[in-house]
């Protein structure tokens, strides 16, 4: 089992595929005759509230915001000429990208963003590709902004500059 993480109310955390949220409460709830503690997390992007059992939070992928060094590594991934997914046809590639987004890893999300940003310059993106690009962009920009303690618009400009 992964190390237990102890978040406090007011902490920011990342939940796979949902992005950054704030721990707004820690509640004791009775489920199936058993009392369990839950983190109540409010997703910054859309205000959605998620209940994550404290005892399985790290297994579920709930984690702290990346460090400044990790944020710099994310920018290196974005600058890299690698391509993460080369699978054909598109529906298989789409599944692979979705799995990468759901992994909760900012490095994997960066690879999705990099691949789709580059693809965008070669051809018109399909609706599904645009949605993946938007999701990856949102997930990454919010976290990088918190990690580097700068406004989201500055991160967006840095990311755009890499691909222009």
Specify whether 47 is located in the same domain as 127.
no
Percent of the chain with pLDDT over 70: 98
Specify whether 82 is located in the same domain as 47.
no
Identify the domain boundary among 22, 46, 64: 64
What is the C-alpha R_g of the chain?
A: 17
pLDDT for 63-110, tens place per residue? 999 999 999 999 999 999 888 888 788 889 899 999 999 998 999 999
Specify whether 35 is located in the same domain as 76.
no
pLDDT for 14-35, tens place per residue? 999 899 999 999 999 998 889 9
pLDDT at 138 over 70: yes
pLDDT value at residue 125: 87
Specify whether 78 is located in the same domain as 121.
yes
pLDDT at 119 over 90: no
Structural domain range at position 84: 68-163
Specify whether 106 is located in the same domain as 145.
yes
Beta bridge partners of 42: 22, 49
Percent of the chain with pLDDT over 90: 73
CATH number at residue 144: 1.20.58.1290
pLDDT at 5 over 80: no
Residue 3 lies in a domain: no
Specify whether 151 is located in the same domain as 83.
yes
Specify whether 134 is located in the same domain as 149.
yes
| Token pair of 73 as six digits | 């590594």
Specify whether 36 is located in the same domain as 99.
no
Report residue 46: phi and psi, to 5°: -130, 0
């Amino acid at each position: 089992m992964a190390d237990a993480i102890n978040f406090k109310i007011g902490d920011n955390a990342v939940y796979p595929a949902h992005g950054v949220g704030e721990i707004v409460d820690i509640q004791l709830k009775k489920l199936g005759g058993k009392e369990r503690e839950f983190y109540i997390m409010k997703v910054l992007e859309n205000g959605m509230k998620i209940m994550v059992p404290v005892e399985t939070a790290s297994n579920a992928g709930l984690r702290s915001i990346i460090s400044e060094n990790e944020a710099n590594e994310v920018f290196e991934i974005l600058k890299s000429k690698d391509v993460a997914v080369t699978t054909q046809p598109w529906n298989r590639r789409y599944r692979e990208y979705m799995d990468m987004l759901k992994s909760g890893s900012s490095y994997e999300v960066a690879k999705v963003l990099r691949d789709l940003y580059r693809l965008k310059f070669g051809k018109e993106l399909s609706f599904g590709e645009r949605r993946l690009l938007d999701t990856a962009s949102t997930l990454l920009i919010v976290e990088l902004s918190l990690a580097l303690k700068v406004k989201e618009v500055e991160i967006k400009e840095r990311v755009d500059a890499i691909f222009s």
